[in-house]
Amino acid sequence: MKINMFGKIYIALMSIYFVISGFNALLDIDAKLARIGLSAIDSDGKIAFILIYCSLMIGIGISIALLYYFSKKWEYSALLASTIIASFISFRLVGAYMVGDLSNTQLSFLGVELLELAIGIFLLYKSGSLSQKYA
């Protein structure tokens, strides 16, 4: 079935995306902080960034892969990825509301995240996972 193949491709891409994003930031912390308009005052700030951003992104990517590996179903991993991405979107909008601005950088992230979420929901819907009732 084609939807299963696309679902597996989706979770593979999401897993790889999260892991690479986390490692990429880890390899050049100062550049990542500057890209999002932040700076670390000292080494504790850099370590906090590693814990908050890098470990989160890498952990999500590995969780998506492990969930598929142990369950042998891509739907659970897609649901996890979609939930995380929806959370990113929600809190990006909350942050923009609190700050009173949505920068071009934030808009570009938001656009990509909306696309990722739409694909995840579409695949889950087409697989029947969103309409199944579990007892």
Asked if the structure places residue 38 within a domain, the reply is: yes
Q: How confident is the model at residue 133 (pLDDT cuts 50, 70, 90)?
A: low
Residue 135 lies in a domain: no
Which residues span the domain enclosing 24? 2-127
- Residue 132 in domain: no
How far is Cα 53 from Cα 118, in angstroms, rounded to an integer?
24
Mind listing the pLDDT tens digit for each residue in 30-89?
888 888 777 888 888 888 888 888 899 999 999 999 999 999 999 999 999 999 999 999
Residue 89: inside a domain:
yes
Looking at the structure of the chain, the number of domains it has is: 1
Q: How many other CB atoms are found less than 10 A from the CB of residue 27?
A: 10
Asked if the structure places residue 134 within a domain, the reply is no
33/25 Cα distance (integer angstroms): 8
Region 102-127 average pLDDT: 93
Cβ neighbours around 101 below 10 Å, total: 9
Q: Which residue has the tokens 């995240």?
A: 113
Residue 12 in any domain: the answer is yes
- Kindly report whether the global pTM for this prediction surpasses the value 0.95: no
- Assigned domain for 69 exists: yes
Report pLDDT digits (tens) over 74-112. Answer: 999 999 999 999 999 999 999 999 999 988 888 999 999
Using CA atoms, how far residue 23 sits from 29, 41, 50, 70, 130, in Å, is: 10, 22, 10, 24, 32
Domain membership flag for residue 133: no
